[in-house]
Structure 1
Amino acid sequence: MNTQNLSLAELGWRPLLQQQLSFEELDSGFAARVNAVYRDRILVTSEFGEHSILVSGILDTDDTEQRATTGDWLWLERDTLKPLRLLERMSLLKRTAAGTEPKTQLIAANIDTLFIVSSCNQDFNVSRIERYLSLVMAAHIPAVIVLTKADLCDDPDVYVDQAQAIHRDVPVVAVNALSADVIERFRDYTMAGQTIAFLGSSGVGKSTLTNSLLGEQVQDTGGIREDDAKGRHTTTERSMHRMAHGGWVLDTPGMRELRLNDDASGVAELFADIEQLKTQCRFANCHHQGDRGCAIDQAIDDGLLDVRRWTNYQKLQRESELASQTKAERKKAAEKWGKEISKFSRQHKKSRYT
């Protein structure tokens, strides 16, 4: 990739970033955007080309959110390339890493549009797309649902309709990731200075889409296994690449298990209908488990609320709450949550036979 003579605007620079800097800083340094993060080094691009800098000084910190991630903007000392500032982000996508302790893991920063990728086969899963969308909405990043392998499906509209029903304001696009028209279909999102990213499970076509938008084979691709439609990991790190129309694409590793962080605002926004229903319960302390005058139970019985959607809402809400709790609090809450799910399942199983 030729990154010589690129302007800050072409790299994705915004006026809000400029406003963070003092006159003294403007005289002594320059801006560089993070292309990739490794264990002890960071690859950045500036108006002067590519630079490899050590993870040191302000970036070598125990505060996860103050570490650099792909898409970040750094202010570097002009002569030494020493990181002087991590500029305030316009958006930050993060998750809770796997493990017993809820540690934050940064995914990407300063993304203009996030594409949630699924495929028109057995990998398609509404609850999983809701999980991804909750995370993206919490980061306040505009989202688009992309359904790949539409050319291999007898009726892709079936998948499109299900995806569109998740949220009326989130566009849904069905594509053949290998098609020559992919570049034009994504044109509005990929112009100079724009940054996009793909998020989805392994094997759904993220790397294929990246290669199509770049017009060259940059990322390795791997097919979905025929027996279960589950994909193999092909991308193992996050990196940024310049696209045909001048924008930037950030490819991410497949994330079949994506745990939410402690920001529950995305769940509330995605499930705004359920949040509204909860306010209509007869009693303010309703547990939504057969309580008298429960609006949730009534909506389920009337066929206005799908049990799957209600259950997934509860799961994502609880997961976000657990991410902000101590270990002891999480253990106690998990035991209570298990009892609540069992009670809910018994209640609605019994109602179907009475």
Structure 2
Amino acid sequence: MSKSLISRRPVFRRGVSSSGQEKPAAAESPLRKLGWKPFFQQQLSLDELNDCVPVKVMAVHRSQIEVTGEAGDEVVLVHGPLFDDASERPTVGDWLLLERASRKPLRRLERSSLFKRMAPGARQAQLIAANVDNVLIVSSCNHDFNLSRVERYLALVKEAGCRACLVLTKADLDQNHDSYRTALKGHRDLPVVLVNALDAESVAPLREYCRSGETLALLGSSGVGKSTLLNSLAGAELAATGGIREDDSKGRHTTRHRALYAIPDGGLLLDSPGMRELRLADVQDGLAATFADISALAAKCRFADCAHESEPGCAVQAAIESDTLDERRLRNWRKLEREVRRNTRTLAESRADDKALGQMYRSVQSHARARKSGEE
């Protein structure tokens, strides 16, 4: 087992005793450092408070998951009812309740946020992470920068209700920073930070997103510098790093699986493999929030069923003609809306098929038990 995922060294804060002398304050609870909040505490029954202990999922592997809590790091085997349903099984960032004596996982607590995507080439959702507070959408100042992809990530983040910041890495390799700021003029409410991920001073403005007790996720494609950025924020080599191909700026995979890392100043950082394909589903609210300006313009169109193409009195087309709305943004909104509708319908059909199959299995088992009982 690797070394502890959270520091066990007490953290002292200075206080003042009744005699006027400074005294060390009590160490911060390990659970609080891991993100334990009243939202999770309130989900526990009195019996669970006595008989169970909460642990946080730090990494997920094929046959086991790594968790940590007040007792330190543990390994939980992936078997039993908690892991039967792929769409409900624990993912990185989840809180589990373990039976105090046996260390058996009993249940997963309700999530405060959840990131998921359509699994590549499948009709099922793939879980990315749970209980994330803040997200750094990481791109880079080279061929990788793609505003339509940034909007795709934004829809996912806004659906989860997390605070987002766009980080453009490799800023030291491209001095034409104004071109990126101009491209982002349609996202004035999105904080943008340009950094050299190898420079700790350069990434300092990002530390406000990883305070003690909060979980920060880094999302982006391969080779944009997520692992390098994670290491700079943590002040230690937590994740492996690699280079990019010079001809097309495409990245090499360095992170093999999603994992949470604790940093010395508090907070947890999520590093995840680069996602070349991020298919969206069930993010209608997030999509609406990402393209709220288009929705506001559409409300001003002369016709309620305006398709925003060549209809008279179209406020959306008028904004494009006046250069206050980028036509690319309208095209991307339409594309993502079609994708979300299609994938959401596919997921609903898949869930219905799974439910029907489960009912059939239970019916067959019930008949088999009844027949066996009759024979006895």
With structure 2 as the length reference, what TM-score do the two structures score?
0.82
Give the unaligned 5+ runs of structure 1: 330-354
Whether contact under 8 Å (1:262, 1:324) holds in the other structure is yes
Higher gyration radius (CA)? 2
Alignment equivalent of 1:96, drawn from 118, 122, 128: 118
In structure 1, the partner of 2:173 is 152
Give the unaligned 5+ runs of structure 2: 9-28, 350-376
Alignment equivalent of 2:318, drawn from 267, 290, 298: 298
5 Å matches for 1:252-291?
Answer: 252-291=272-311
Q: How many residues align?
A: 326
Shift of 1:203: 0.4
Secondary structure of residue in 1 paired with 2:230: helix
1:105 aligns with 2:143: no
In structure 2, the partner of 1:60 is 83
5 Å matches for 1:154-233?
Answer: 154-163=175-184, 165-182=185-202, 184-233=204-253
Shift of 1:293: 3.0
Structure-1 separation of matches of 2:283 and 2:299: 21
Shift of 1:244: 2.6
Alignment equivalent of 2:91, drawn from 43, 52, 69: 69
Structure-1 separation of matches of 2:112 and 2:264: 24
Q: Deviations over 1:88-122 (max 9, x none)?
A: 11111111111252x11111111111000011112
Secondary structure of residue in 1 paired with 2:275: coil
The 4+ residue runs of structure 1 with deviation greater than 4 A are: none
Whether contact under 8 Å (2:59, 2:67) holds in the other structure is yes
Whether contact under 8 Å (2:200, 2:233) holds in the other structure is no
Shift of 1:28: 0.5
Whether contact under 8 Å (2:186, 2:325) holds in the other structure is no
With structure 1 as the length reference, what TM-score do the two structures score?
0.87
In structure 2, the partner of 1:43 is 66
Q: Deviations over 1:130-183 (max 9, x none)?
A: 1111111111110010011111112223323433x2422221111110013156
In structure 1, the partner of 2:33 is 10
Deviating more after overlay: 172-181 vs 300-309: 300-309
In structure 2, the partner of 1:243 is 263
Q: Deviations over 1:228-263 (max 9, x none)?
A: 111111112000111131211010110122111122
Secondary structure of residue in 1 paired with 2:188: coil
In structure 2, do the counterparts of structure 1 residues 214 and 308 end up closer, same or farther at CA, with 3 Å as the change threshold?
same
Residue identity (%): 53
In structure 1, the partner of 2:23 is none
Secondary structure of residue in 2 paired with 1:188: helix
Secondary structure of residue in 1 paired with 2:111: coil
Structure-2 separation of matches of 1:159 and 1:80: 54
In structure 2, do the counterparts of structure 1 residues 135 and 93 end up closer, same or farther at CA, with 3 Å as the change threshold?
same
- For the aligned residue pairs, the C-alpha RMSD in angstroms reads 1.9
Shift of 1:217: 2.0
In structure 1, the partner of 2:359 is none
In structure 2, do the counterparts of structure 1 residues 81 and 120 end up closer, same or farther at CA, with 3 Å as the change threshold?
same
Structure-2 separation of matches of 1:324 and 1:104: 10
Structure-2 separation of matches of 1:10 and 1:183: 22
Deviating more after overlay: 169-178 vs 291-300: 291-300
Secondary structure of residue in 2 paired with 1:186: helix
Whether contact under 8 Å (1:89, 1:110) holds in the other structure is yes
In structure 2, do the counterparts of structure 1 residues 156 and 299 end up closer, same or farther at CA, with 3 Å as the change threshold?
closer
Structure-1 separation of matches of 2:122 and 2:43: 37
Structure-2 separation of matches of 1:116 and 1:93: 13
In structure 2, the partner of 1:127 is 148
Shift of 1:302: 3.1
In structure 2, do the counterparts of structure 1 residues 4 and 232 end up closer, same or farther at CA, with 3 Å as the change threshold?
closer
In structure 1, the partner of 2:354 is none
